[in-house]
Structure 1
Amino acid sequence: MKAGTVFDEMWADGSSIRRPYKNIKTWLDGEERNSLKAKRRDANDLFRLTGITFNVYGSEEGEERLIPFDIVPRVITSNEWTKICKGLEQRVRAINAFLYDIYHDQEIVKAGVLPLEMLKNNPAFLLQMMGVNPPGQIYTHISGVDIIRTAENEFYVLEDNVRTPSGVSYMLENRETMLQMFPELFTKNRVQPIQNYPQELLYSLKHTLPETAENKPTVCLLTPGLYNSAYFEHAFLADQMGIELVQGNDLKVVDGFLAMRTTQGHRKVDVVYKRLDDEFLDPLNFNEKSSLGVPGLFDVYRKGRVTIANAPGTGIADDKAMYSFMPEIVQFYSGEFPLLQNVPTWRCAIKDQLNYVLDNIHKLVIKQVHGSGGYGMMIGPTATKKDIANFRRKLIATPQDYIAQPTLSLSTVPIFTNKGFAPRHVDLRPFVQMSPEKINIVPGGLTRVAMSKGSLVVNSSQGGGTKDTWVLEN
């Protein structure tokens, strides 16, 4: 891993095409620029027609935006994908074991691997979850692990998203759009399919049932509502899985069980696919001002009478401060060295590490430990003097709220611009489904791309776009 050097996934050394991209290069060379522009317009029109948007937080009007879609696919070989999958499975199993442990005996704390303060001082650690046994002992039913590439054989985990990972609907629609726009590409390239993700997810949820579930379990998707930034995805997944999309007022605790209001009366619910934050889940147990959740839902969960996916309290595992302990966490629970490495991380709560960060702030990426979506962070090499001074003050005032990392050069993949093709930085969010029976990883995931030249910020909320991600068959 070398800061400042950029690995381009299409061009190996700047002059020759890497083998996985040879068919893509041949295709692009044979296409007229005006034809590609027309196809790009068609793709955007298709997204608008389908309603593939995200809602902008803080907009009273509920402003909706299209996430920019780039027509040049990102290609991953079968061997590369096998390597990534092994690392993902190891990591997700360790995270699930970690969550069970910290909400039960806390062996990792007793062993001196993790300071108790990392739990006590973290708002994502839910005391209400202590001693609770989730159905099947599964906490992380769905994980979205952000991975970056820095060289031919170098992949790093940048973030573990296990609270309410999002983006899978864009992955699915990107593929559907490419199939419609460029069907000839899929006859010339053996690309692993991803379309059964919703059915695989439903299978996973139905195999993590509470003991009280009956032969035909009821699964629903709980959404905060229309103005949530990922509402399109909530509606899309509920439709694709053939389950009810519900809000808090559609559910009620009846005779100690969770029930859904229907035209025929109340129907018992066995699994809730939760797409809202824990604090809004149940006003009787968490935020009493919440109108989005279901009063008493957590009491039903605590008694083992309903599955909630992902389990309440999982957010402690994707906290950015906890991220810095993930290599130790993986090794503690798996007994193995991590197959996917972390990006080196400085914990600003530790004085000597804070001093290093302050001395080198202009070279580093500073992240707020509870930040997300590209907010609460600063990229030193591209920051203004004012931004650097502002973050320096924040670090000195509340160092425990920040971590720092080297400014890595994310790999690049070409995008199609009005002036032709140009490299842009990308990351990858594979989606991992977990049940007591198995772990399922959809081939590829969501490639997010920074649409602006030189930008390292790929988040859709910050103007990032997406690509179709191809995992080639052998």
Structure 2
Amino acid sequence: MKISWRDYDPGTGWDELLGAPGRPRPHARELAKHLSALSAQQLGRRQDAAERAILEMGITFTVYSEGQNIDRAWPFDIIPRIIPASEWRRVEAGLKQRMTALNLFIDDLYNEQRIVADGRFPRALLETSGNFRKECRGVKPAHGAWAHICGSDLVRDADGTLYVLEDNLRVPSGVSYMLENRIVTKQVFPELFSRNRILPVDDYPSLLFDTLASLSPRPLDYPEVVVLTPGIYNSAYFEHAYLAQAMGAELVEGGDLVVADDDCVYMRTIAGLERVDVIYRRVDDTFLDPDEFRPDSMLGVRGLMRAWRAGKVAIANAPGAGVADDKLVYAYVPDIIRYYLDEDAILPNVPTYACIEEKDRRHVLENLANLVVKPVNESGGYGMLIGPAASHADIDKFRRLVSLEPRNYIAQPVLSLSTAPTLVNGRLEPRHLDLRPFSLQGERNEVTAGGLTRVALVEGSLVVNSSQGGGSKDTWVVESEES
């Protein structure tokens, strides 16, 4: 029995593939036509083939559960998410604008602090920031870039508006899964790549290497770039190893590096010490250097901050970049863009209530059952309240938390996240999703064509994080007559 789009109900929200039952969106007609020529059994076999490929390629992620680290195969849905290139050009411009402004903001906070002196960003927020590193004051990194890799989470509401949900500026992950999703989809649907003009993503490792190389303190054609990982037990270790191999860079742990008396960083090799120019670190700030942060850290390199401040090594993302990764700072990003660039934000923020503000806090406490409440420094979907799905006990708990520590919470309305067809038990059903494109900034500013689409595999769920049971899809940015 063939797939019939008339049997697929996109509901009352925004579906990425269909505008109404049986009516694919113009840029998705070729994909919808091809899928409708397949039977449920044929789609099922292709899904099985994708899952076998994922197992054979060793694409995994780690779930921390009850004190155990559990490696699981990457959950993947074969039906791609599709975006017209005409829309993507605006998204790309908005992400570049956002990345530029945030880097100007971070640089200002660690140097002149003009935005604070001019009263455009509250001093109290800076003084209470858990991610501001006094050890970074006065540093001027190459090209004025502190956040070199950013994963911005985008969501689409029921009216079709794309919002930036948050900016991940510390050690954003997920790009390896974006790349692997494309590889697997090409294996499962090779015919579709000859019939559709799908913008490529496989140049990301070379773009990342070029970005990192542009930060090198030495003018070399091929500087020594390394990827610093916490080790095999980190949940994103697959990605660390993947990117190091794809870039032709060394994958190192803290014990592989040493800072010498000349303030340079060296890598231990069987041929002796070899100087390192750029460190793409996947280790949190406080573990980077036991001399300046956590003295018990075994993950970092003693003296690394000294070498970085001396300009003898570049670190991406730079220490301290997370000061702009605070969800409370997020609420001020449109103002930050206007302040530094004298422009309105191309991509809007989700309306956000800052609980530190008395008026906002009062509204949040009165409407907890209708809001999403998030701790400002958590990630991965942990520690938040989804009001409409919460119990009375959970709502009472968050009322106490917000009242006791208002600086630690923001709240946002519950968006009706867009959906896309997802293969579930042989049927195509709508599931909610988001999108994480990746932006790079060094000598140049680049944005991936699409990104990592994460999908909530549980019916009706709005939680897309893999650590919370979500999966992913390939993301196609398609050039067509309509785009």
TM-score (norm. length: structure 2): 0.95
| Counterpart code for 1:234 | H
- List alignment gaps of at least 5 residues for structure 1: none
Match of 2:478 in 1: 472
SS at match of 2:241: helix
Match of 1:331 in 2: 338
| Counterpart code for 2:252 | V
2:448 maps to 1:450: no
* Equivalent residue for 1:173, pick from 159, 162, 180: 180
Q: Which deviates more, 47-56 or 404-413?
A: 47-56
For 1:122 and 1:58, locate their aligned partners in 2 and report how far apart those are by CA, in whole Å. Answer: 29
2:442 maps to 1:421: no
2:193 maps to 1:186: yes
TM alignment of 1:169-318, pairs within 5 A: 169-210=176-217, 212-254=218-260, 255-318=262-325
Match of 2:8 in 1: none
TM alignment of 1:44-443, pairs within 5 A: 44-57=51-64, 61-151=68-158, 153-210=160-217, 212-254=218-260, 255-436=262-443, 438-443=444-449
Shift of 1:190: 1.0
Please say if residues 72 and 414 of structure 1, whose CA atoms lie closer than 8 Å, have aligned partners that are also in contact: yes
Shift of 1:349: 1.2
Shift of 1:16: 2.0
SS at match of 1:164: coil
For 2:158 and 2:404, locate their aligned partners in 1 and report how far apart those are by CA, in whole Å. Answer: 37
TM alignment of 1:5-24, pairs within 5 A: 6-24=13-31
Identical columns (%): 48
| Counterpart code for 2:453 | T
For 2:221 and 2:174, locate their aligned partners in 1 and report how far apart those are by CA, in whole Å. Answer: 31
- List alignment gaps of at least 5 residues for structure 2: 1-10
For 2:355 and 2:160, locate their aligned partners in 1 and report how far apart those are by CA, in whole Å. Answer: 30
TM-score (norm. length: structure 1): 0.97
2:52 maps to 1:41: no
For 1:256 and 1:24, locate their aligned partners in 2 and report how far apart those are by CA, in whole Å. Answer: 55
For 1:238 and 1:59, locate their aligned partners in 2 and report how far apart those are by CA, in whole Å. Answer: 31
SS at match of 2:171: coil
1:107-141 deviation line (CA, Å, top 9, x unaligned): 10011111111111011000011101112321111
| Counterpart code for 1:463 | G
Shift of 1:204: 1.1
Please say if residues 17 and 420 of structure 2, whose CA atoms lie closer than 8 Å, have aligned partners that are also in contact: yes
Match of 1:462 in 2: 468
| Counterpart code for 2:148 | H
Please say if residues 163 and 350 of structure 2, whose CA atoms lie closer than 8 Å, have aligned partners that are also in contact: yes
Shift of 1:60: 5.1
SS at match of 2:259: strand
SS at match of 1:472: strand
Please say if residues 135 and 304 of structure 1, whose CA atoms lie closer than 8 Å, have aligned partners that are also in contact: no
For 1:133 and 1:59, locate their aligned partners in 2 and report how far apart those are by CA, in whole Å. Answer: 43
Shift of 1:182: 1.1
Shift of 1:157: 0.3
For 1:159 and 1:84, locate their aligned partners in 2 and report how far apart those are by CA, in whole Å. Answer: 14
| Counterpart code for 1:306 | V
Shift of 1:51: 1.2
Seen in structure 2, the aligned counterparts of structure 1 residues 386 and 407 have a Cα distance that, compared at 3 Å, is same
SS at match of 1:49: helix
For 2:167 and 2:263, locate their aligned partners in 1 and report how far apart those are by CA, in whole Å. Answer: 34
| Counterpart code for 2:399 | R
For 1:58 and 1:283, locate their aligned partners in 2 and report how far apart those are by CA, in whole Å. Answer: 28
Shift of 1:20: 1.5
Q: Which deviates more, 171-180 or 213-222?
A: 213-222
Shift of 1:58: 5.2
SS at match of 1:183: coil
Shift of 1:57: 2.8
Aligned alpha-carbon RMSD (Å) = 1.4
| Counterpart code for 1:311 | A
SS at match of 1:123: coil
SS at match of 2:77: strand
Misfit runs of 4+, over 6 Å: none
Please say if residues 419 and 431 of structure 2, whose CA atoms lie closer than 8 Å, have aligned partners that are also in contact: yes
For 1:166 and 1:59, locate their aligned partners in 2 and report how far apart those are by CA, in whole Å. Answer: 23
Please say if residues 355 and 364 of structure 2, whose CA atoms lie closer than 8 Å, have aligned partners that are also in contact: yes
Please say if residues 258 and 265 of structure 2, whose CA atoms lie closer than 8 Å, have aligned partners that are also in contact: yes
> Aligned pairs, how many?
469
Shift of 1:195: 0.7
1:17-74 deviation line (CA, Å, top 9, x unaligned): 2112211211221112122112112211111111111112356553101231011100
